[in-house]
Homo-oligomer: A and B are copies of this chain.
Amino acid sequence: MRGTYDHDMPYDPSVYPPFAVTVDLVVLTVRRNALCALAVRRGEEPFRGRWALPGGFVRADEDLATAAVRELAEETGLRPQESEGHAGAHLEQLATYGDPSRDPRMRVVSVAHLVLAPDLPAPTAGGDAERARWVPVASLLAGPGGAAPEPLAFDHARILTDGVERARSKIEYSSLAAAFCAPEFTVGELRRVYEAVWGVSLDPRNFHRKVTGTPGFLVPTGGTTTRQGGRPAQLFRAGGATLLNPPMLRPEA
Protein backbone atom coordinates (compact mmCIF):
# COMPACT_ATOMS: atom_id res chain seq x y z
CA MET A 1 0.00 0.00 0.00
CA ARG A 2 1.38 3.32 -1.10
CA GLY A 3 0.70 6.65 0.45
CA THR A 4 0.93 5.23 3.93
CA TYR A 5 3.17 8.02 5.08
CA ASP A 6 0.96 10.67 3.59
CA HIS A 7 0.54 14.08 5.05
CA ASP A 8 -3.12 13.32 5.46
CA MET A 9 -2.68 10.63 8.07
CA PRO A 10 -3.05 11.19 11.80
CA TYR A 11 0.19 11.58 13.70
CA ASP A 12 1.36 8.43 15.46
CA PRO A 13 4.54 9.02 17.47
CA SER A 14 5.35 5.32 17.49
CA VAL A 15 5.63 5.39 13.72
CA TYR A 16 7.08 8.89 13.33
CA PRO A 17 9.62 9.46 16.08
CA PRO A 18 9.86 13.06 17.23
CA PHE A 19 12.54 15.40 15.99
CA ALA A 20 14.36 18.14 17.83
CA VAL A 21 14.21 21.38 15.86
CA THR A 22 16.87 24.05 16.24
CA VAL A 23 17.85 27.28 14.55
CA ASP A 24 21.46 27.95 13.62
CA LEU A 25 22.71 31.40 12.72
CA VAL A 26 25.20 32.45 10.08
CA VAL A 27 25.91 36.00 11.24
CA LEU A 28 28.19 37.85 8.85
CA THR A 29 29.85 41.23 9.13
CA VAL A 30 32.74 43.10 7.54
CA ARG A 31 35.55 44.02 9.94
CA ARG A 32 38.84 45.53 8.84
CA ASN A 33 38.02 44.75 5.21
CA ALA A 34 37.50 41.04 5.92
CA LEU A 35 34.28 39.05 5.88
CA CYS A 36 33.77 37.63 9.38
CA ALA A 37 31.28 35.23 10.91
CA LEU A 38 30.08 34.96 14.47
CA ALA A 39 31.35 31.74 16.06
CA VAL A 40 31.22 30.23 19.52
CA ARG A 41 33.63 27.84 21.18
CA ARG A 42 31.81 24.70 22.22
CA GLY A 43 32.08 23.88 25.93
CA GLU A 44 30.42 20.47 25.75
CA GLU A 45 30.81 17.21 23.93
CA PRO A 46 30.49 16.44 21.14
CA PHE A 47 33.00 18.67 19.36
CA ARG A 48 34.13 20.28 22.63
CA GLY A 49 36.57 23.10 21.96
CA ARG A 50 35.66 23.53 18.31
CA TRP A 51 34.08 26.56 16.71
CA ALA A 52 30.36 26.29 16.09
CA LEU A 53 27.64 28.54 14.77
CA PRO A 54 25.40 30.12 17.40
CA GLY A 55 22.00 28.51 17.69
CA GLY A 56 19.54 26.77 19.93
CA PHE A 57 16.28 24.96 20.25
CA VAL A 58 13.03 26.30 18.92
CA ARG A 59 10.49 26.70 21.72
CA ALA A 60 7.12 25.02 21.70
CA ASP A 61 5.01 28.04 20.76
CA GLU A 62 7.56 29.96 18.75
CA ASP A 63 7.85 30.60 15.03
CA LEU A 64 11.15 29.75 13.31
CA ALA A 65 11.96 33.37 12.54
CA THR A 66 11.08 34.35 16.11
CA ALA A 67 13.47 31.75 17.44
CA ALA A 68 16.22 33.07 15.18
CA VAL A 69 15.64 36.65 16.33
CA ARG A 70 15.70 35.54 19.97
CA GLU A 71 18.93 33.60 19.53
CA LEU A 72 20.49 36.54 17.74
CA ALA A 73 19.58 38.90 20.57
CA GLU A 74 20.88 36.45 23.16
CA GLU A 75 24.21 36.11 21.39
CA THR A 76 24.83 39.63 20.12
CA GLY A 77 22.26 42.04 21.51
CA LEU A 78 21.46 42.73 17.87
CA ARG A 79 17.95 43.27 16.63
CA PRO A 80 17.02 42.84 12.97
CA GLN A 81 15.62 45.68 10.90
CA GLU A 82 12.99 47.44 13.00
CA SER A 83 11.87 49.82 10.29
CA GLU A 84 12.16 50.01 6.53
CA GLY A 85 15.53 51.13 5.30
CA HIS A 86 16.80 51.72 8.81
CA ALA A 87 20.07 50.15 9.87
CA GLY A 88 19.65 47.09 12.06
CA ALA A 89 20.62 43.77 10.64
CA HIS A 90 19.08 41.78 7.83
CA LEU A 91 17.72 38.33 8.71
CA GLU A 92 16.42 35.68 6.34
CA GLN A 93 15.98 31.95 6.35
CA LEU A 94 18.87 30.15 4.69
CA ALA A 95 18.19 26.42 4.45
CA THR A 96 17.38 23.40 6.58
CA TYR A 97 19.80 20.63 7.45
CA GLY A 98 18.45 17.29 8.58
CA ASP A 99 20.91 14.53 7.90
CA PRO A 100 20.13 11.73 10.39
CA SER A 101 23.73 11.60 11.56
CA ARG A 102 24.46 15.30 11.76
CA ASP A 103 24.19 15.26 15.56
CA PRO A 104 25.43 12.06 17.21
CA ARG A 105 23.17 12.53 20.23
CA MET A 106 19.77 12.59 18.56
CA ARG A 107 17.81 13.41 15.47
CA VAL A 108 18.06 17.17 15.02
CA VAL A 109 16.69 19.21 12.16
CA SER A 110 18.26 22.62 12.06
CA VAL A 111 16.75 25.59 10.25
CA ALA A 112 19.68 27.84 9.43
CA HIS A 113 19.22 31.60 9.14
CA LEU A 114 21.46 34.21 7.57
CA VAL A 115 22.11 37.53 9.31
CA LEU A 116 23.99 40.43 7.74
CA ALA A 117 25.11 42.81 10.48
CA PRO A 118 27.05 46.09 10.52
CA ASP A 119 30.41 46.08 12.24
CA LEU A 120 29.54 46.39 15.92
CA PRO A 121 31.51 48.56 18.35
CA ALA A 122 31.29 45.79 20.97
CA PRO A 123 31.52 42.48 19.08
CA THR A 124 29.00 40.51 21.13
CA ALA A 125 27.50 42.86 23.65
CA GLY A 126 24.61 41.59 25.74
CA GLY A 127 25.02 37.86 25.48
CA ASP A 128 27.39 34.98 25.82
CA ALA A 129 30.15 37.41 25.07
CA GLU A 130 32.85 35.24 26.55
CA ARG A 131 32.47 32.46 24.04
CA ALA A 132 31.26 34.32 20.96
CA ARG A 133 33.80 35.90 18.60
CA TRP A 134 34.02 37.36 15.14
CA VAL A 135 36.20 35.02 13.11
CA PRO A 136 37.35 35.74 9.52
CA VAL A 137 35.50 33.42 7.18
CA ALA A 138 38.77 32.70 5.40
CA SER A 139 40.17 31.05 8.53
CA LEU A 140 37.06 28.90 9.03
CA LEU A 141 36.64 27.68 5.46
CA ALA A 142 39.24 26.34 3.10
CA GLY A 143 39.39 28.77 0.24
CA PRO A 144 40.92 27.83 -3.12
CA GLY A 145 44.51 27.15 -2.19
CA GLY A 146 44.08 28.43 1.37
CA ALA A 147 45.56 26.89 4.49
CA ALA A 148 43.71 24.13 6.31
CA PRO A 149 40.89 25.75 8.31
CA GLU A 150 40.06 25.23 11.95
CA PRO A 151 37.40 22.54 11.80
CA LEU A 152 33.84 23.55 12.67
CA ALA A 153 31.51 21.37 14.74
CA PHE A 154 28.71 19.27 13.23
CA ASP A 155 27.92 20.21 9.62
CA HIS A 156 28.49 23.88 10.36
CA ALA A 157 31.19 24.27 7.72
CA ARG A 158 28.60 23.35 5.13
CA ILE A 159 26.05 25.74 6.60
CA LEU A 160 28.56 28.58 6.74
CA THR A 161 29.61 27.92 3.15
CA ASP A 162 26.01 28.09 2.04
CA GLY A 163 25.43 31.29 3.99
CA VAL A 164 28.51 33.00 2.56
CA GLU A 165 27.58 31.97 -0.95
CA ARG A 166 24.06 33.32 -0.44
CA ALA A 167 25.40 36.64 0.83
CA ARG A 168 27.80 36.89 -2.10
CA SER A 169 25.13 36.34 -4.68
CA LYS A 170 22.43 38.42 -3.00
CA ILE A 171 24.39 41.67 -2.86
CA GLU A 172 24.78 41.32 -6.61
CA TYR A 173 21.19 42.16 -7.38
CA SER A 174 19.85 43.72 -4.19
CA SER A 175 20.67 46.60 -1.90
CA LEU A 176 21.55 44.21 0.90
CA ALA A 177 25.20 45.23 1.09
CA ALA A 178 23.97 48.28 3.01
CA ALA A 179 23.05 45.94 5.88
CA PHE A 180 26.79 45.60 6.50
CA CYS A 181 27.16 49.37 6.92
CA ALA A 182 26.34 51.85 9.69
CA PRO A 183 22.99 53.65 9.32
CA GLU A 184 24.76 56.42 7.41
CA PHE A 185 27.60 55.49 5.14
CA THR A 186 29.63 56.76 2.20
CA VAL A 187 29.84 55.29 -1.28
CA GLY A 188 33.42 54.30 -0.57
CA GLU A 189 32.42 52.40 2.56
CA LEU A 190 29.77 50.54 0.60
CA ARG A 191 32.31 49.72 -2.07
CA ARG A 192 34.71 48.30 0.50
CA VAL A 193 31.89 46.00 1.64
CA TYR A 194 31.54 44.60 -1.86
CA GLU A 195 35.29 44.22 -2.14
CA ALA A 196 35.53 42.34 1.17
CA VAL A 197 32.58 40.05 0.51
CA TRP A 198 33.60 39.23 -3.05
CA GLY A 199 37.34 39.37 -2.49
CA VAL A 200 37.90 41.61 -5.50
CA SER A 201 38.69 45.24 -6.14
CA LEU A 202 36.26 47.50 -7.95
CA ASP A 203 36.84 50.72 -9.84
CA PRO A 204 35.81 53.49 -7.39
CA ARG A 205 34.64 55.83 -10.14
CA ASN A 206 32.41 53.38 -11.94
CA PHE A 207 31.08 52.01 -8.67
CA HIS A 208 30.13 55.50 -7.59
CA ARG A 209 28.25 56.20 -10.79
CA LYS A 210 26.48 52.88 -10.66
CA VAL A 211 25.10 53.12 -7.12
CA THR A 212 24.28 56.82 -7.20
CA GLY A 213 22.72 56.47 -10.62
CA THR A 214 20.22 53.78 -9.57
CA PRO A 215 17.08 55.63 -8.46
CA GLY A 216 15.92 54.81 -4.93
CA PHE A 217 19.02 52.83 -4.11
CA LEU A 218 20.80 55.49 -2.03
CA VAL A 219 19.27 58.51 -0.33
CA PRO A 220 21.63 61.39 0.50
CA THR A 221 21.27 62.57 4.09
CA GLY A 222 22.89 65.92 3.38
CA GLY A 223 25.80 65.31 5.73
CA THR A 224 29.41 64.66 4.81
CA THR A 225 32.32 62.96 6.55
CA THR A 226 36.07 62.78 6.25
CA ARG A 227 36.43 59.69 8.45
CA GLN A 228 38.12 57.86 5.60
CA GLY A 229 40.50 60.75 4.91
CA GLY A 230 40.73 62.71 1.70
CA ARG A 231 38.00 64.86 0.29
CA PRO A 232 34.75 64.93 2.30
CA ALA A 233 32.32 62.29 1.15
CA GLN A 234 28.54 62.50 1.03
CA LEU A 235 26.62 60.40 3.53
CA PHE A 236 23.76 58.18 2.40
CA ARG A 237 21.08 55.97 3.85
CA ALA A 238 19.77 52.82 2.13
CA GLY A 239 16.85 53.73 -0.12
CA GLY A 240 13.61 51.87 -0.56
CA ALA A 241 14.71 50.19 -3.76
CA THR A 242 15.54 46.65 -2.74
CA LEU A 243 16.25 45.35 -6.24
CA LEU A 244 19.27 46.47 -8.18
CA ASN A 245 18.67 46.36 -11.91
CA PRO A 246 20.82 45.86 -13.81
CA PRO A 247 22.82 44.03 -11.16
CA MET A 248 26.25 44.88 -9.90
CA LEU A 249 28.72 42.83 -11.90
CA ARG A 250 31.03 40.52 -10.02
CA PRO A 251 34.44 40.50 -11.74
CA GLU A 252 36.06 37.19 -12.65
CA ALA A 253 38.94 37.19 -10.22
Q: Is A122 an interface residue (CB 8 A)?
A: no
Q: Which residues of B contact A43 (CB under 8 A)?
A: 8
Contact present for B98 and A95 (CB under 8 Å): no
Contact present for B16 and A19 (CB under 8 Å): no
Closest 7 CB pairs of A and B: A18-B18, A64-B98, A5-B56, A7-B55, A96-B96, A19-B21, A17-B60
Could you tell me which A residues sit within 8 Å of B by CB distance? 2-3, 5-11, 13, 15-22, 24, 42-44, 52, 54-64, 71, 74, 93, 95-100, 105-107, 109, 111, 127-128
Report how far A62 CA is from B16 CA in the complex, Å. Answer: 11
Q: Which residues of B contact A71 (CB under 8 A)?
A: 5
A-B contact pairs, 15 of them (CB 8 A): A5-B56, A6-B55, A7-B52, A7-B55, A8-B44, A9-B56, A9-B57, A11-B105, A16-B20, A16-B57, A16-B60, A62-B100, A63-B100, A64-B96, A64-B98
Q: Is the interface of A mostly helix, strand, loop or mixed?
A: loop
Of B3, B10, B63, the residue contacting A98 (CB under 8 A) is B63
Contact present for B98 and A128 (CB under 8 Å): no
CB within 8 Å for A98 and B21 given contacts A109-B109, A127-B3:
yes
Q: Which residues of B contact A111 (CB under 8 A)?
A: 96, 98, 109
Contact present for A19 and B19 (CB under 8 Å): yes
Contact present for A109 and B8 (CB under 8 Å): no
Q: Which residues of B contact A8 (CB under 8 A)?
A: 42-44, 52
Q: Which residues of B contact A63 (CB under 8 A)?
A: 98-100
Contact present for B22 and A7 (CB under 8 Å): yes
Closest residue to A95 on the B side, CB-wise?
A: B93
Contact present for A7 and B24 (CB under 8 Å): yes
Q: Which residues of B contact A61 (CB under 8 A)?
A: 100
Instruction: State how many angstroms separate the Cβ of A185 from the closest Cβ of chain B.
Output: 28
Contact present for A20 and B22 (CB under 8 Å): no
Closest residue to A96 on the B side, CB-wise?
A: B96
Contact present for A74 and B11 (CB under 8 Å): no
Q: Which residues of B contact A5 (CB under 8 A)?
A: 56-57, 59, 71, 74
Report how far A9 CA is from B43 CA in the complex, Å. Answer: 10
Contact present for A2 and B105 (CB under 8 Å): no
Most buried by B among A11, A13, A15, A97: A11
Instruction: State how many angstroms separate the Cβ of A162 from the closest Cβ of chain B.
Output: 10
Q: Which residues of B contact A95 (CB under 8 A)?
A: 93
Closest residue to A41 on the B side, CB-wise?
A: B8
